[in-house]
Chain A
Amino acid sequence: MDNNIAPWEIHDTIVICNTLYGPEQSANGWFTSMVAFGQRTDHTLFKGRNQANVGIAYNNMQSQDRADFAFHAFSFGLRFFGPTSIPENESIEGAIFSQDHLGHFFQYDLPNHVAVSFQVEQDEKVLLNAYLAPAGYGPVGGGASFGSDVPVGAENQMTWVGSQGTPDRRNRWQFDSPIGIPRNGTIEATLYISEWARNILSNIYGPSYNLQTVDTGTPGSPVSTITRFPARYGIQATLYGLREVQLRGQYHR
């Protein structure tokens, strides 16, 4: 019996955020601080999470460690993401600390210091510097504020919107021949963080908070109050290709 062929993508994500919500709290390989993230020499994707425990935005696999269906992988990509609102703030006992450039470091410098391997069953298909596996999608743009000339805590705010490589679908690591992944086969992407980068990450504060306004007033009398919301960083791996799907009523193993 023939399977139906359909375009598909498989993705998985490592998230670093000081607050994890609901089932995320038990997600394997997610972190609440850069220190914890930086203390690990390697991080694994497609191996420890599924959509049930982290949500479809971050993972669309039903099985945590096996291919849900036969898949023909055409390309592989990796995206480092972080907040676009910079700086991040932390307030402890009235003192305000500003971590201005963690977002820049994580999204644009760190990929130069990370290697990624992609493995199907027992075979390592590629071992690349992270910049050689651009995701092919992501934001571009930017913005600037004129800002007031005042000290830390009320500084001008900056947005910084960018990606690793031009976000064009074709700008991904293309497999010369499609890689066939059998159903129930194992796939794995592993990130190797260099010692230089781990020395920085394991000593750095964050992720902390971005500023945003909330309404603390009563109905009809809005009051705008500045509050903080956890900044979220992550690394997302994607496989683009074709999946083989059984037609309904055509069950076979």
Chain B
Amino acid sequence: MREIVEVEGQEYNVEESFALYDTVAVLSNLSSLSRQPAGWYSSFALLGAANDHHFFDIRNKSTCDRAYCNLDVRDQFAFAFLLRHISVNFFSPYITTQVQDTDNDYLEPFQSAFWSGELPQHCGLTLKINQDEHLKANCLELGAGPTPVGGGAGQGYVSQQPSGTAPIMLGALGQGSSTLNNAWEFPKAIGIPRKAAVSVVITPSEWARQNLQFRLGPYSYTFQDSTLDAVFKAPVMFGVRVTLHGNRLVQPRGSYRA
């Protein structure tokens, strides 16, 4: 191994590149999931009613799927961590034309673009490690890491708008360049001790909260169902994923200590 961190004489930890991430999501069928993670919402209105949204001190990979959170402990770091970068990704459905559950004719084509392209500009982020604030920034400044790239378009059926066969809009939406390097870099790695309390709080502006509270949805994708008998409506999910990039310090096997 290239780097070994000496700790207490003969004992040492090994540095491994690692990322810790946590997600706040909005989806209309939240109540039908087997687990309803804390801090997730079933409508934009409920999301907008909250003043702020917490990450890294409220969920772990047991309380929501590992795709959304990879923390072992809800409110402490399970290992020492050298924090080098932070990124925030406002991800939204790629199929940006979504349909209401109750009305097939109503297509909402703008929510993904608002979520991924506009909302980050109106949210602030605070990073706190134990008692110290290490970052206060606008979310759009921080970079989102990899997101979809590429695309194409079709014209659709002009004469049948606005109906179920109206043109479907698609969008390769992200915040900045779609690379892992597109993240806020701390000039010097921030050492986070094991069992430290780390929190990231995203605070939308009053404008953003009002906008969300007056917004219906999220709606659904439409697909052919598995038997081709009907159109299958699947609720979409909007989310905000905060990622802490850096190195974790891992005890080698056999070098246990308290």
Q: How large is the interface on A (under 10, 10 to 19, 20 to 34, 35 or more residues)?
A: 35 or more
Q: A99-B224, A132-B21 are in contact. Are A157 and B154 (CB under 8 A)?
A: yes
Of B1, B18, B95, B177, which contacts A126 at CB under 8 A?
B18
**Other-chain contact of B152, A102, A114, A161 (Cβ < 8 Å):** A161
Decide: B155 and A162 in contact? CB cutoff 8 A: no
Contact status A114-B67, CB under 8 Å:
yes
Q: A97-B224, A102-B223, A176-B2 are in contact. Are A163 and B149 (CB under 8 A)?
A: yes
> Which residue of chain B has its CB nearest to the CB of A112?
B91
If over half of A's interface residues share one DSSP class (helix, strand or loop), that class is named, otherwise mixed; here it is mixed
Closest to B220 in A: A200
Q: Which residues of A contact B70 (CB under 8 A)?
A: 115, 127-129
Closest residue to B94 on the A side, CB-wise? A108
* B145 contacts A101, C-beta separation under 8 Å: no
Contacts of B150 in A (CB 8 A): 139-142, 160-163
B27 contacts which chain A residues (CB < 8 A)? 196
> Is A105 an interface residue when CB atoms closer than 8 A count as contact?
yes
Q: Could you say which residues of chain B place their CB within 8 Å of the CB of A202? A: 226
Contact across chains for B180 and A115 when beta carbons are under 8 A apart: no
Which listed residue (A102, A163, A176) contacts B17, Cβ 8 A?
Answer: A176
Shortest CB distance A50–B (Å): 28
Q: Are B179 and A151 in contact (CB under 8 A)?
A: no
- Cβ of B237 within 8 Å of any chain A Cβ, yes or no, is yes
Asked whether A90 is an interface residue with its Cβ less than 8 Å from the other chain, the reply is yes
Interchain CA distance A101-B231 in the complex, whole Å: 12
Q: Contact at B67–A101, with CB atoms within 8 Å?
A: no
Chain A residues lying within 8 Å of B21, measured Cβ to Cβ, are 128-129, 132
State whether the Cβ of A212 lies closer than 8 Å to any Cβ in chain B: no
Identify which of B47-55, B157-165, B199-207 touches chain A: B157-165
Contact present for A101 and B221 (CB under 8 Å): yes
* Chain A binder among B123-131, B133-141, B239-247: B239-247
Q: Are B145 and A155 in contact (CB under 8 A)?
A: no
Beta-carbon nearest neighbor of B222 in chain A? A101
Q: Are A165 and B223 in contact (CB under 8 A)?
A: no
- Known: A104-B95, A150-B157, A158-B152. Is A205-B228 also a contact (CB below 8 A)? yes
In the docked arrangement, what's the CA distance between A98 and B67, Å?
Answer: 30
Question: In the bound complex, do residue A104 and residue B94 qualify as a contact, i.e. CB atoms below 8 Å apart?
Answer: yes
Residue of B nearest to A145 (CB): B154
Chain B positions 58-95 with a Cβ under 8 Å from a chain A Cβ: 61, 65-68, 70, 89, 91, 93-95
By a CB distance below 8 angstroms, the chain B residues around A114 are 67
Taking a contact as CB atoms under 8 Å apart, the answer to whether B145 and A131 are in contact is yes
**Contacting pair A165 B68 (CB below 8 A):** no
**B180 and A195 contacting across the interface, CB-CB below 8 Å:** no
CB neighbours of A193 from chain B (8 A): 67
- Give the residues in chain A near B154, CB-CB below 8 Å: 86, 144-145, 147, 155-158
- A247 part of interface (Cβ distance < 8 Å): no
**Interface presence of B168 (CB below 8 A):** yes
What's the Cα separation between A19 and B165 when bound, in Å?
29
From 7 to 55 in chain B, residues with beta carbon under 8 angstroms from any chain A beta carbon are: 15-19, 21, 27, 29, 32-35
Known: A97-B228, A115-B66, A196-B237. A156 touches B156 (CB 8 A): yes
Say whether B152 contacts A149, CB under 8 Å.
no
Which residues does chain B contribute within 8 Å of A140, judged by CB atoms?
149-150
Kindly state whether residue B172 has any CB partner on chain A within 8 Å.
yes
Whole-angstrom CA separation of A206 from B227 in the bound complex: 10
On chain A, the residues within 8 Å of B94 by CB distance are 104-105, 108-109
Question: Knowing A140-B149, A192-B66 touch, does A99 contact B223 (C-beta < 8 A)?
Answer: yes
Inter-subunit contact A171/B146 (CB<8 Å): yes
**Could you tell me the distance between the alpha carbons of A70 and B33 in the complex, rounded to whole angstroms?**
43
Q: Which residues of chain A have C-beta atoms less than 8 A from B196's C-beta?
A: none
A173 on interface, CB distance cutoff 8 Å: yes
Flag whether A29 is at the interface (Cβ < 8 A): no
* Cross-chain contact of B157 among A151, A161, A170 (Cβ < 8 A): A151
Pairs A-B, 7 closest by C-beta atoms? A162-B150, A165-B146, A142-B152, A158-B154, A176-B17, A115-B66, A194-B65
Write the residues of chain A forming the contact surface with B, with a CB cutoff of 8 angstroms: 33-35, 86, 90, 92, 97-102, 104-105, 107-109, 112-115, 117, 122-123, 125-132, 134, 139-147, 149-152, 155-168, 170-178, 192-197, 199-200, 202-206
A-B contact pairs, 22 of them (CB 8 A): A101-B221, A113-B68, A125-B16, A131-B146, A134-B180, A140-B150, A144-B155, A150-B157, A156-B156, A158-B152, A161-B152, A162-B148, A163-B148, A164-B147, A164-B149, A165-B147, A166-B149, A170-B181, A173-B17, A195-B35, A196-B33, A203-B234
* Other contacts beyond A112-B239, A127-B70: 15, CB < 8 A: A35-B226, A105-B94, A113-B68, A115-B66, A117-B66, A132-B19, A132-B146, A132-B243, A142-B151, A166-B149, A170-B179, A177-B16, A194-B68, A195-B33, A197-B67
